[in-house]
Amino acid sequence: MHNSATLKNELIFQYASGTCNLAKSLMASSYLFLNSKESDLFSQFENYCGKEFDEVTQINSKNLSVEKCITTDQIKIDKTKSTEINPINKFIKSLRDLKWVKKFNGFYEYSFKLSNNEKAKLIKMNPGTRVPLHSHKGKEYILVLEGKFSDEYGLYSKGDLQINDSKIKHTPVACLKEGCICLIISEEDLVFYGPFSPILNLMTFIKSIIFNSK
């Protein structure tokens, strides 16, 4: 069965801690943009990481200087919050007029670069298009940006995120009225890295939050 809530929290936590790649960051930030109710959970996770940051192993360096900070020219920082601008619009202007590549009848893909190494993919399904039953090699994240689709597990509309692992088999069908456009990323295995990884017994932590809030 789907354990989407836990997996969603895991994604948000990874994004808050800065431990996911660009594709997953885009997935998480787009999900948060479309689901403003999750922003509390996101800042809760950020605060948790802030506390861990206090305890991180310290490394001193002679090359750093206070004086350099004070004399440095103004550094531009991106102040636009994920709540103001759709993160996907940093990469593509609009979901219209994209050069979709037809994969089979009624099913189109559009990939775009996130960096030299990473890509993300949009898919478009025309109304009523049915994807044959399939499962996934690793995990697959599907975020609905427009329209609706349904499968054995339910109906997914704009802002809904479905996370499938290799055990899930499904037959998605695009809604008859409007079809759908989704952001899709997949990962083959979960790799935790970075300074938090030793304390990042992520699932335990997230589960404890879920159970405590019930």
Partner 1 sequence: MNNDQLKKLIYDVGNTQNKASFSKIFEYFAPRVMGYLIGFGLQEEAAEEITQEVLSIVWQKAQLFNSEKGNVSTWIFTIARNRRIDRLRKNENPTYNTQDFVNALYPEENLGDKDMEIKIEKMQSKLNENEKKLIKMNFFDGKTHKIISQDLEIPLGTVKSRIRNILKKMKNN
Quick one: 68 or 96, whose CB is closer to partner 1? 68
Report 91-110 residues binding partner 1 (CB under 8 A). none
Tokens of 192: 């935790």
What distance in Å separates the CA atoms of residue 50 and residue 158, rounded to the nearest whole number? 32
Q: Pick the binder of partner 1 from 94, 105, 116, 213 (CB under 8 A).
A: 116
In the complex with partner 1, which residue's Cβ is closer, 29 or 129? 29
If one asks whether residue 1 binds partner 1 (CB under 8 A), the answer comes out as no
What's the closest the beta carbon of residue 54 comes to partner 1, in angstroms? 5
Burial readout 132-166 (b: 16 or more C-beta within 10 A, e: otherwise) = eeeebeebbbbbbbebbbbbeeeebeebbbbbbee
Q: Is 194 in the site for partner 1 (CB under 8 A)?
A: yes
159 contacts partner 1 (rule: CB under 8 A): no
Residues that bind partner 1 (CB under 8 A): 17-18, 21-22, 25, 43, 46-47, 49-51, 53-54, 56-61, 63-66, 68-70, 72, 74-75, 77-78, 114-117, 137, 188-189, 191, 193-196
